């Protein structure tokens, strides 16, 4: 164990753990037919969820409407997202995952569960549960869980 780590190591441990999870996630996604999907694409698809407008996507990602539109275009080019006229308000377009986009999201969820499962095998369920509760309870500032404003 690393009992001698100072509190100021936390950001670096979080970053290394996050990068390790995401890198392995994308390695496994590539094995499952999603080699063209990058981390930013996955985060944006998480932000889209079951569907949203470009304005909602911008807010969820913490970016400008122009950056969200550019991201949506990239997701569309990858076959992950489609833009459709909102039947309730024809002035508005809805961004919805395609079947490929939904499959990618489902595969990502399964892979992340597998990866956290390796943590559970390594340190035990109680420690992982405490980590998850701790991270959920900490102050995230004004950022949403899918805010990638510094990445775009």
Instruction: Assess if CATH 3.40.50.1100 describes domain 21-137.
Output: no
In this structure, are residues 146 and 61 in contact, taking their beta carbons and an 8 Å threshold?
A: yes
In this structure, are residues 116 and 128 in contact, taking their beta carbons and an 8 Å threshold?
A: yes
Q: Tell me, what's the pLDDT at 151?
A: 60
Pairwise CA distance, residues 25 & 42, whole Å: 10
Q: Tell me, what's the pLDDT at 108?
A: 96
Q: Tell me, what's the pLDDT at 8?
A: 93
Pairwise CA distance, residues 49 & 149, whole Å: 18
pLDDT tens, N- to C-terminus, the chain (152 residues): 567 889 999 989 998 999 999 999 999 999 999 999 999 899 999 999 999 999 999 999 889 999 999 999 999 999 999 999 878 888 888 999 999 999 999 999 999 999 999 999 999 999 999 999 999 998 877 777 777 676 65
Query: Domain map of the chain by residue range?
Result: 21-137
């Amino acid at each position: 164990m690393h009992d001698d780590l100072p509190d100021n190591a936390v950001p670096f441990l979080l970053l290394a753990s996050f990068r390790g999870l995401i890198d392995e996630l994308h390695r496994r996604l590539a094995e499952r037919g999603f080699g063209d999907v990058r981390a930013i694409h996955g985060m944006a698809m998480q932000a889209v969820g079951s569907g949203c407008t470009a304005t909602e996507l911008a807010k969820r990602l913490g970016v400008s409407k122009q950056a969200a539109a550019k991201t949506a275009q990239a997701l569309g080019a990858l076959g992950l997202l489609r833009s459709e006229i909102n039947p309730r308000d024809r002035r508005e377009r809805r961004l919805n995952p395609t079947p490929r986009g939904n499959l990618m999201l489902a595969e990502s969820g399964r892979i992340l569960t597998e990866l956290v499962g390796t943590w559970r095998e390594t340190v035990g369920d109680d420690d992982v549960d405490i980590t998850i509760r701790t991270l959920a309870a900490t102050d995230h500032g004004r950022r949403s869980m899918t805010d990638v404003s510094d990445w775009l």
